[in-house]
A and B are shown apart, each in its own frame.
Chain A
Amino acid sequence: MEEQKQPVALESSAPVIGPGHSFATVTDKISAIVLTRPTSTGWFVGFGVAFLLTMMMLFAIGYLFVRGTGIWGITIPIGWGFAIVNFVWWIGIGHAGTLISAILLLLRQSWRNSINRFAEAMTLFAVSAAGIFPLIHVGRPWLAYWLFPYPNTMNYWPQFRSPLVWDVFAVSTYFTISLLFWFVGLVPDLATLRDRSQSRPAQIIYGMLALGWRGSARHWHRYETAYLLLAGLATPLVLSVHTVVSFDFAVGIVPGWHTTIFPPYFVAGAIYSGFAMVLMLAIPIRKLYGLEDFITERHLQNSAKVMLATGLIVAYGYAIEAFMGWYSGNRYDAFTLWNRLHGPYAIPYWALLICNIFVPQVLWIRKLRTSPPALFLISGVILVGMWLERFIIVVVSLHRDFLTSSWGMYYPTRWDWMTYIGTIGMFLAAMFLFVRILPMISIFEMRTLLPEAEVKPE
């Protein structure tokens, strides 16, 4: 397709938007999914399953409130189990969205335009899934609000030295900003839907959400400023949130936690798993809704490259951890390393190394980078690996610390699993609803990618 004019001048081969599209076709194609196209039975089945899983989660949480955290596998010494593992895992996944939307926006990576919308949605849902865990994992959830500073009758404030308090702020800020960012981005498209939808209720609902957007130059001007500002606000958050989360461990003195390298390699890991999740969602969606023109090989490739890069940073993190275990000469760190390699949880650890370090190396091969099925598979492997990483950090570090007399083992119960799988269900359910009622690809931003959008030099 030599003669085909490249819409945006990028050195990469594949285009960011398929050939032969005009403003109208783009708008039609995307808005049709929401407005005109009939809802497929597949959607109903998928949503139904996800919804049931959500109900299962609610049941598990209900029982938890009735009986207490004792229904989980946690014990002394392993005071934190699945709850925290899942929290960190979800938060990590929640990083891709903002990264794609904010950072790539500031870096003028316009190829992001086709994936940022649902990446952001994904972020929101992932963060909400994550947010559940710190709330329910405490012994007296009905008092969790004590972590917020407010003038109480005890005349007593939270303890600001504790990373858990920092978490509260980091996560809630991150969620708020992501939400705003996502919504602001949606406004013009909501207006489009308002104008194109036939049914009155739809018009009203979309209308209200569109906040009276008319697309005037003034609107666009304000929009651009707001969006840019939010991007600026969100960018540091991408780094800060997981740094703070990593402090939960780095601040502790448990061998296997007490490491200065945690912040960078947590952030890298977060983006790593985030992009894996984006691909896991993007690949089936583009297939099912025939959006190959909008989410092209290019996107897949770039994402794959990001994963490859962050994956290597993560690998470096592991290497340094191991090296320090030996080099520090600290008998406890040394043992932690030995315990990971040979201890009762050796299998998860080796599995983690395979999933996060060895498997992703195949992404060096271009062929695999561009094959959706392969990417889908690899992303899955990475997500498992990243979950295992958190399991190793939380559980395996705790189960054998300083005094041999208080070593113990951790066995997750069915309630642990129900809660974990339940949140996955909740996440998917939300995604299903999203793709059904909102434009999963930013219509107007796609338009800007079209040749027509370019200002012709006179």
Chain B
Amino acid sequence: MQIFHRSTNTISRATIYGAIFMVAASLWAVLELQRSPYITYAKVARPQPVPFSHQHHVAGLGIDCRYCHTSVETSSFAGIPPTRTCMNCHSQIWTNAPLLEPVRDSFRSGKSLVWTRVNDLPDFVYFDHSIHINKGVGCNTCHGPVDGMPLMFNYASLQMEWCLDCHRAPQKNLRPRDQVFNMRYEQPSILKPVTLDGKEYTDQLSLGTDLVKKYKLRTVADITSCSTCHR
């Protein structure tokens, strides 16, 4: 007496093999999801009270980063400009542009603007801008082409593996200190060499390795110690 149809054999074989792939696929999906913008917000613009355009202010008007982010060279925190900084100019120009009403209102009432934080690290991570700037890590190395962002978003995933990529091989990203705030800076190449102390560099690796020495970077072992970022 036959309980099952003949096809059951094939079906069962298929399922047995299929199962393996199903499991593998779902695992892969989870890992991908973890790294996706859905989780990291990477390259996703965030709602802001005022649609402030870095593109316009940096590329268009050529304002230096430090004009607004004043403490970036001296403090762990780069600094968000107080309303006054905006008003320095906007008390003169666009004085009654409706878009800027929240700014003027804040200045009048003394109530702060409430922005949405864009580059937001977890609270157990202690990042220090000043030391990165000081060791020749360019703004756009992490923040990306800010001068091309009409609305601000975080360029990188800001996940630990991303931090470690650089901390495990800093020479891949270093640049001369005087180029740190240069948004147009490009890594050295045969076509666009970079000169440092009179020496011409045509590839990032040799430049980076020399900068590591010049700027007295701590060893990779040092800067990958847990307490470098976690306390």
Contacts and interface: CB of A to CB of B under 8 A. Distances in A.
Interface of A: 150-156, 194, 203-204, 207, 211-212
B215 to A, nearest CB: 25
Interface in B1-17: 3-4, 8-9, 12
A113 B31 CA distance: 46
Given A152-B34, A194-B3, A204-B3, 19 more contacts: A150-B31, A152-B31, A152-B161, A153-B34, A153-B35, A153-B159, A153-B160, A153-B161, A155-B160, A155-B161, A155-B164, A156-B160, A203-B3, A207-B3, A207-B4, A211-B12, A212-B4, A212-B8, A212-B9
Closest 6 CB pairs of A and B: A155-B161, A154-B160, A153-B159, A207-B3, A155-B164, A203-B3
A150 B32 CA distance: 13
A370 B160 CA distance: 65
Contacts of B161: 152-155
Interface in B127-158: 157
Contacts of A211: 12
Interface string B155-186: 00101110010000000000000000000000
6 contacts: A151-B31, A153-B34, A153-B159, A153-B160, A155-B164, A156-B160
B223 to A, nearest CB: 14
B159 to A, nearest CB: 4
Interface residues of B, number: 14
A203 B164 CA distance: 58
B160 to A, nearest CB: 4
A155 B31 CA distance: 12
Nearest to B168: A155
B5 to A, nearest CB: 12
Contact of B12 (A151, A156, A212): A212
Interface-central residue, B9, B12, B157, B161, by most chain A CB under 10 Å = B161
Nearest to A195: B1
Contacts of B164: 155
A212 B12 CA distance: 10
A195 to B, nearest CB: 8
Nearest to B40: A153
Nearest to B157: A153
Interface-central residue, B3, B9, B157, by most chain A CB under 10 Å = B3
A29 to B, nearest CB: 24
B110 to A, nearest CB: 42
A225 B77 CA distance: 67
Contacts of B34: 152-153
Interface string B33-76: 01100000000000000000000000000000000000000000
A219 to B, nearest CB: 14
A212 B7 CA distance: 12
A200 B4 CA distance: 11
A211 B4 CA distance: 11
Nearest to B9: A212
Contacts of A207: 3-4
B226 to A, nearest CB: 10
A409 B115 CA distance: 53
A156 B34 CA distance: 15
A154 B157 CA distance: 12
Nearest to B30: A150
Nearest to B39: A153
Contacts of B4: 204, 207, 212
B148 to A, nearest CB: 27
A212 B157 CA distance: 51
Contacts of B160: 153-156
Contacts of A204: 3-4
Contacts of A153: 34-35, 157, 159-161
